[in-house]
Amino acid sequence: MLYDAFYQSLDYLVTIIPVMVIGVVAAEFLVEMGWIHKIGFIVSPLTRFAHLHEECSVSFITAFGSPAASNSMLKKLYDDGRIERKELIVASLINSFPSIIMHWRTLLPVFIPLLGMAGMIYLGILTFVGLLRTFVIVLIGHFLLEKKQYIPEKSVYQPPLVLNAFKTSIEKSRKTIFRIITMTIPVTILVFVLLDAGFFEVLADFLKEHAVFIPVPGEALPIIAAQFTANIAAYTIAGNLLSAGILNTKEIVLSLLVGKILSSIMSIRILIPYYVGIFGSKLGTQIMVYSAILREGILVVAAVILAIFW
């Protein structure tokens, strides 16, 4: 039992820690080379409206490739005193949107053959919810944070040699990397031990047993139940029910939305070591809770609106 938990922990750590380390070093390297001002302009209107520092623009761009590296960049900026706590939280919440867009490449090959138009509608709703969530966070940043003084584009910066900048980046990143590793490893092991002990399954069963209020027909319950274990299984069941004419497009979309909301408890097993490992226990938990409230809250509103007006 414990052997499996430790093996799964090791497998996860081997995947996530290198990405975090690269993100921390990359953030420092970009600053050392003065590239922040060269590539930040791409999303600078967004970050400037949210009253974020220019460095946060690079973090947002990085999130399209690796959310872990992106958030590690933000933590490094925070540790160096370049951004404040509230700004770190706002920037981290904004950085969650690129991961939604990146899911298209893996979800589209599944949704189109299995669910057709229902899958496209569902994916479109998730993307819209992500956009709306990002818009809300940007507005919060605009009114919560103080307006920043941005460096003019004509500013001249003489970068050091690439090798020297890389060595300096590694040296300045050691403290942050050590903290990330020492925090991520024990938290990850604890979460996977709880997972192996069935803790999260108990929570999932509790939610399923008390989900009698959900606005979907009884035939859709297998879809929701499957989302607690594997999304692919849920999509397959939904596709079969749709092709057999047991459920229509609206019922499929609603079932998937409700299942995603209820099964969000299962994502804790990954989110806890992810956020706590990068940001620390207090700040990481805070960001995770804010993110969940915004995401699930908007999803609930979207599901209710669809159930009433569709």
Q: Is pLDDT above 70 for 293?
A: yes
Q: What is the pTM of this model?
A: 0.73
d(CA 4, CA 27) in angstroms, rounded, equals 35
Domain presence at residue 91: yes
Amino acid code (one letter) for 213: F
* Predicted local confidence at residue 268, as pLDDT: 77
* Predicted local confidence at residue 89, as pLDDT: 94
Burial (CB count <10 Å: 0-12, 13-18, 19+), residue 86: middle
What is the domain extent for residue 23?
A: 2-148+173-309
Higher pLDDT, 208 or 288: 288
Q: Is pLDDT above 90 for 97?
A: no
d(CA 185, CA 260) in angstroms, rounded, equals 28
Instruction: List C-alpha distances in Å: 216 to 117, 212, 222, 261.
Output: 19, 10, 11, 13
Helices (H), 65-198: 67-79, 85-94, 97-102, 104-115, 117-144, 162-196
Number of domains in the chain: 1
Buried b (16+ CB within 10 A) or exposed e, 229-241: eebeebbbbbbeb
Domain presence at residue 280: yes
d(CA 16, CA 67) in angstroms, rounded, equals 10
d(CA 293, CA 254) in angstroms, rounded, equals 20
Domain presence at residue 163: no
CB 73 within 8 A of CB 62: yes
d(CA 116, CA 249) in angstroms, rounded, equals 9
* Predicted local confidence at residue 87, as pLDDT: 93
Q: Is pLDDT above 80 for 205?
A: no
Both structure tokens of 119: 């899958």
Domain presence at residue 85: yes
28-42, 80-94, 124-138: range with lowest mean pLDDT: 28-42
Domain presence at residue 131: yes
Which band of pLDDT confidence, cut at 50, 70 and 90, is reported for residue 18? Answer: confident
- H, E, C per residue of 48-100: HHCCCCCHHHHHHHHCCCCHHHHHHHHHHHHHCCCCCHHHHHHHHHHCCHHHH
Residues 254-281, mean pLDDT to the nearest whole number: 83
Higher pLDDT, 270 or 206: 270
Higher pLDDT, 265 or 105: 265
Q: Is pLDDT above 70 for 109?
A: no
* Predicted local confidence at residue 104, as pLDDT: 65
Phi, psi of 195 (to 5 degrees): -65, -45
Domain presence at residue 213: yes
Domain presence at residue 153: no
> Which residues make Cβ contacts (< 8 Å) with residue 110, sequence separation at least 6?
119, 232, 235
Domain presence at residue 304: yes
